[in-house]
Structure 1
Amino acid sequence: MNRRDPAFQYHLSVEPDIVPGLSFAKQTRTTSSAGARGEAAGEGIYTTHNPTYWDRQLAYESVGALPSTLYLVKVSDPSETDIWSPHQDLSPPGHVVVLAKILTIDPDRPLDIGRAEHLVDRWVAGNPHLLDPGFDVEASVSPSP
């Protein structure tokens, strides 16, 4: 993943069918009312550069369902990363746009970040227009009939 762009992040979710191209403000939940590390009482969406940390932390906490799906998202106002702490952003739902479903997480195995990074690199290479800071993902999505 393009590490120079802090806007590209991961989102861990219990929702298997989040729609790419839409912000979380326009998504409909099907599995739960609040996803693991997905929504803080409806006020924000959690995203991270380091999903393996949060995958392990959520398994340790045993609070609710474990995330089943890893998504690539674009955050409109990301925080700066710090190598000394696990990265996490909390953004308003309208500021986080889902770009792609990256992989389904195997609950019996650690999250394979190498595989996830490889899939993201391939996805971004096929969608270079997303690297343009002025590109509006939501505006590029055709409305459903």
Structure 2
Amino acid sequence: MQGALRTNRPSWTLVDTPASSRRFSRTGDPVRICFDLETPGLDELTADIVGWAFCWEPGHGWYLPVRAPQGSKLLDPDTVRDACAGDRNPEIEKTNQNIKYDMLVLRRAGLELAGIGVDPMIGHFLLDAGARSHSLAALSEKYSTTP
């Protein structure tokens, strides 16, 4: 199955204004989303959320920064929480590399993740437990044909 995926040049939208937040909130009605939290550390017990990344259509993602260097444009944390309400909707399946980490970071922030779906890291471990790595970089190298 090596080389099964083919993608075009990806694009993304930075969501850092109320107007872009409204566009983000009104975009599509996805049944599945891939999301990732950006954090400054790897310890889920102390890491704070720096930003949220989402994708629900091939080739396009959204990034919502919640912490950045002084002077950067940021959305109010409550606006981000409202915009990301889909994370709490069990009807929308969430996929994420190492979803347990993000689930624990969200829980520490007072948010419960619902509708947990596929975790490629766990899936790859089940397919090839002896693989040297189950990282997203290793999976991309093995299964992607993007130059």
Question: What is the TM-score of this pair, normalised by structure 1?
Answer: 0.29
Larger radius of gyration: 2
The structure with the largest helix share of the pair is: 2
